[in-house]
Amino acid sequence: MEMINTTNLSKIYGEKKAVDNVNLSVKEGEIFGFLGLNGAGKTTTIRMLLGMITPSTGQCYLLGQKVSPDNSNIWREVGYIVETPYSYPELTVRENLEIVRRLRGIEMIEWISIVIVLFTCFTGLIGTFLWWRYADQN
């Protein structure tokens, strides 16, 4: 079984080709590593393989399933951390939370709005507390 398969996989940001027509086949039991300099397209390729970002052209299959932003079932089958396991700065807060929701298999789409509201309330309370606590010290 092919674990990873890509056909003419490309990602273009404006004038820059981050990934250029990658054709890749990795079968079950094979070991494959992405090696390259910073900016070579390793992370972008993996993000496309997981459906985190949409390819500009081409197709990719992971574990025999076509990868798309709508197919988060794949995420439950693989382990992956991009560089540093923080948020992705090129994505919005809502998009970052959507990645977490899909990785965790949380069905409730409203979860994202609930987290944003709770965070906003919490940070507002902390800000008020800090202002109250230190306002008279200057």
What pLDDT is attached to residue 105? Answer: 81
**Inter-axis angle of helices 111-134 and 93-104, nearest 10:** 120
**Single pTM value for the model:** 0.59
Does residue 16 lie in a domain region? yes
In a domain, 6, yes or no: yes
Per-residue pLDDT of 39-58, as tens digits, reads 889 889 988 988 888 999 99
**Between 15 and 109, where is the model more confident?**
15
Q: Which domain holds residue 55?
A: 2-86
29 falls within a domain: yes
Q: How many domains does the chain have?
A: 1
Q: What is the overall mean pLDDT for the chain?
A: 80
Quick check: is 40 in a domain? yes
| 115 occurs within a structural domain | no
**14-37: per-residue pLDDT in tens?**
999 999 999 999 998 888 888 888
Here the CATH number for the domain that contains residue 40 is 3.40.50.300
In angstroms, the CA 112 to CA 126 distance is 21
Residue 100 lies in a domain: no
